[in-house]
Amino acid sequence: MANEEKFVEDIVDQDDNFSMWYNQIVRKAELADYAPVRGCMIIRPYGYAIWENIQKGLDERFKETGVENAYFPLLIPQSFLTKEAEHVEGFAPEVAWVTRGGGEELEEPLAIRPTSETIIGHSFSKWIQSYRDLPLLINQWSNVVRWEKRTALFLRTSEFLWQEGHTAHRTLEEAEERTMQMLNVYRKFAEEEAAIPVIAGRKSENEKFAGALRTYSIEAMMGDGKALQSATSHNLGNNFAKGFDIQFLDADGQRKYCATTSWGLSTRMIGGLIMVHGDKSGLIIPPRLAPHQVVIVPIWRKEKERGIVEEQVDRVEKLLRANKIRVKVDRSDNTPGWKYNEWEMRGVPVRMEIGPRDVQNNSVMLVRRDNRVKEPVSVDALETRLPQLLDEVQQGLYDRALAFREENTFRTESYDEFKEIIEKRGFARVKWAEDTAAELAIKEETKATLRVIPFDQPEGGVQGKCIYTGKPATCEAIFARSY
């Protein structure tokens, strides 16, 4: 047992040092590694399998709304980036530049895409002629590069993977509708697949995307009370259409600028689910995104028991696969105790133990990762019970995360109390008068940023004064420290 204890001891306590806990989990669970190039990451098979499940779930939801996938170049001419003034200002400091290719200095440096509004805008201007070509609904799965000084695996790396959707519309209203529709896709995905409760709302002027008319986001609370922006959806208005001449001939014979949108979700989401669901034993992956939904641990003491156990394990494995349950059998030479610890640490939602007595009873022992509850189940009942149990774990994780967020969200009208909340842990929900200077002052004083102005506002409007300026409040806003 010495080995097993050591295994767990190696992980620091979440409450002592959350970010160290996070880093240890990412490395020990073999989700990702730092690359030899500073700030870049290697996504290992177990981490990438989560990303594949995220991709599958999101891609289906996008396509249901009429979106098609395409692929645009990695490299963007310098002149493109400068066409939308706010955009270039926002991204210029983060860009990596290609200056040599094929043995020669390039005439014009090429940016590695930090995002693709500009190069996609250029294509849209060629593809769109008339209102019949609208709406144009495109998504791209790709890598992007944004040079980062301070990095954390999945959360902030110089290269990351994401999807970026880009759409063009006839009217600003239609663009606004699409912006909200995609935010809603993200919200449902986060809640239903990642079991992460999120707050949907609008970003402040200060926090919006460089070049957007309005940015919306979903914000989640991590296990240390900090916020993570989990996805964003931007109404770009006519800004990029004007920069890239995306015009269409309308039914009335007039040439008009399109209204465009963009929206994205990245490998950050993996960081989010680690920090929302993990506990002191390690990772907990929600069943719908888990690479292995069930891990089977065969148990025997005497060599003569081995045959019947292995036979039953094979039978059960086949049964689960036939039922489209993602199952892993740990056939390694490690002890059962070691395997329990390892797969707990790696967050498999349900463990299945099969020993000689279980074989005799034609049953298995199921153990939930989230609350350790054990449940013997007859093999004949597995096909119905196991999917139910996975749903229960999925729901249990969501409920727990929601309860945690509620417990750590505080309303206050006092700025002193506000500072205490931020210093201690959690979200502060306060009355707000939408003032960038005040927002920056709060950031300076507390390191908290305005995460989101939730859609969910008091009925009949907000009464009272802004927590910082004392001016009449126009809305409620959520402040928190964030990743």
Site residues, a copy of itself (CB under 8 A): 33, 35-37, 40-45, 48-49, 51-52, 68-77, 80, 92-103, 109-110, 112, 119, 122-123, 126, 138, 142-143, 145, 147-149, 158-159, 161
362 Rama sector, left if φ>0, alpha if ψ -120 to 50, beta otherwise: left
Q: From the CB of 398, what's the least distance to a copy of itself, in Å?
A: 27
State which residue, 92 or 309, has the beta carbon closest to a copy of itself: 92
Q: What is the rounded CA–CA span in Å between residue 461 and residue 347?
A: 43
State which residue, 199 or 289, has the beta carbon closest to a copy of itself: 289
State which residue, 329 or 453, has the beta carbon closest to a copy of itself: 329
Q: From the CB of 292, what's the least distance to a copy of itself, in Å?
A: 12
State which residue, 100 or 302, has the beta carbon closest to a copy of itself: 100
State which residue, 130 or 362, has the beta carbon closest to a copy of itself: 130
Structure tokens at 203: 């970003």
Q: From the CB of 195, what's the least distance to a copy of itself, in Å?
A: 23
Q: From the CB of 101, what's the least distance to a copy of itself, in Å?
A: 4
Structure tokens at 341: 């610890």
Q: From the CB of 74, what's the least distance to a copy of itself, in Å?
A: 5
**What DSSP string runs through 291-359?**
S-SEEEEE--SSHHHHHHHHHHHHHHHHHHHHTT--EEE--SSS-HHHHHHHHHHTT-SEEEEE-HHHH
Q: From the CB of 458, what's the least distance to a copy of itself, in Å?
A: 43
Mode of pairing for the β-strands spanning 227-237 and 259-266: antiparallel
Q: From the CB of 119, what's the least distance to a copy of itself, in Å?
A: 7
Q: How far apart are the first and last CA of the chain?
A: 37
Residues with Cβ within 8 Å of residue 242, at least 6 apart in sequence: 257
- Please answer whether residues 78 and 109 qualify as being in contact, where contact means their C-beta atoms are separated by less than 8 angstroms: yes
475 Rama sector, left if φ>0, alpha if ψ -120 to 50, beta otherwise: beta
State which residue, 75 or 180, has the beta carbon closest to a copy of itself: 75
State which residue, 37 or 444, has the beta carbon closest to a copy of itself: 37
- Ranges assigned E (strand) in 188-326: 199-202, 214-221, 227-237, 247-249, 255-257, 259-266, 294-298
Q: Which amino acid is at 441?
A: A
Q: What is the rounded CA–CA span in Å between residue 74 and residue 111?
A: 8
State which residue, 74 or 309, has the beta carbon closest to a copy of itself: 74
DSSP H or E run through 256: strand 255-257
Query: Which residue in 142, 185, 186, 139 sits closest to 165, CA to CA?
Result: 139
State which residue, 74 or 319, has the beta carbon closest to a copy of itself: 74
The SS3 assignment for 188 reads: helix
Q: From the CB of 175, what's the least distance to a copy of itself, in Å?
A: 20
**Length of the chain (residues):** 483
Q: From the CB of 136, what's the least distance to a copy of itself, in Å?
A: 10
